[in-house]
Amino acid sequence: MRVLVVEDTKSLAEAISQALRGWDYAVDMVGNGEDAEVAALAFPYDAIILDLNLPGMDGLEVLARLRERGSDIPVLILTARDTLDERVNGLDLGADDYLTKPFEITELEARIRAIIRRSHGRKHAILRAGRIAFHTVHRSVEIDERAINLPRREMLLLEALLYRTGKIVSKDQLAESMTEFDGELSSSAIELYISRLRKRLAPADLAIRAVRGLGYVLEET
């Protein structure tokens, strides 16, 4: 899962990003509204954490412009503004949730998990397919209730596929869900991770099928 943090207070942005990376998210940071709009329209983020008090274009304008452009990326507004009018305005403009400062980082992460689940039509924190269970809260994977260890990038790859079980996911989509601004995954690297993950999923009645020229599909066997 890839998240964009839009926050002009660098220390807070770094603290949020560090915490999210610790939960296996790929995280990008920007500090103003103009960069936020450009990034959000350029990359397929799974969620955006959006501060309102930004230099130049404020958060509400960023949100309005994204929705006008057809972006349906889940947005969590993060702000010190705590008036009812501000909350209502943000939600009416298309925000998916609202959290006021100060806040607990664990609550922020829980809210991010929730809006990502809702965006994929999921109600539960456990992703299931075949005989596998992916616990999105404590970041663990089980086959028939027996834990299996996955390296971070294989974990991100599996999560991206599980959220789209039965749907084709392109190599570019997979790479972008696993990397940040300063990272890059080649086509051959994706193929390598797919190969490794296939072997791990063999006992789980799951297969990753290649669709020539299009990408991969996670299917129950």
- pTM value is 0.81
- 129 occurs within a structural domain: no
- 43 occurs within a structural domain: yes
> Rounded mean pLDDT of 39-53?
93
> Rounded mean pLDDT of 72-85?
85
User: 166 lies in which domain range?
Assistant: 152-220
User: Do residue 160 and residue 211 come from a single domain?
Assistant: yes
Q: Over the chain, what HEC string results? A: CEEEEECCCHHHHHHHHHHHHHCCCEEEEECCHHHHHHHHHHCCCCEEEEECCCCCCCHHHHHHHHHHCCCCCCEEEEECCCCHHHHHHHHHCCCCEEEECCCCHHHHHHHHHHHHHHHCCCCCCEEEECCEEEECCCCEEEECCEEECCCHHHHHHHHHHHCCCCCCECHHHHHHHHCCCCCCCCHHHHHHHHHHHHHHHHHHCEEEEEECCCEEEEEEC
User: Do residue 115 and residue 21 come from a single domain?
Assistant: yes
User: Do residue 95 and residue 28 come from a single domain?
Assistant: yes
User: Do residue 157 and residue 114 come from a single domain?
Assistant: no
User: Do residue 107 and residue 163 come from a single domain?
Assistant: no
pLDDT at position 46, please?
93
Furthest-apart CA pair in the chain: how many Å? 53
State which of 95, 119, 143 marks the end of a domain.
119
> Rounded mean pLDDT of 163-185?
85
125-139 pLDDT, tens digit per residue, is 899 998 999 998 888
pLDDT at position 170, please?
92
User: Do residue 92 and residue 7 come from a single domain?
Assistant: yes
Asked if the model's pLDDT at residue 84 lies above 80, the reply is: no
99-118 pLDDT, tens digit per residue, is 988 899 999 999 999 999 99
Asked if the model's pLDDT at residue 15 lies above 90, the reply is: yes
23-35 pLDDT, tens digit per residue, is 889 999 999 999 9
Asked if the model's pLDDT at residue 167 lies above 90, the reply is: yes
Structure tokens at 169: 């996911």
Asked if the model's pLDDT at residue 161 lies above 80, the reply is: yes
- 126 occurs within a structural domain: no
User: Do residue 40 and residue 103 come from a single domain?
Assistant: yes
> Rounded mean pLDDT of 155-159?
92
User: Do residue 93 and residue 177 come from a single domain?
Assistant: no
User: Do residue 109 and residue 160 come from a single domain?
Assistant: no
pLDDT at position 182, please?
66
Q: How many domains are there within the chain?
A: 2
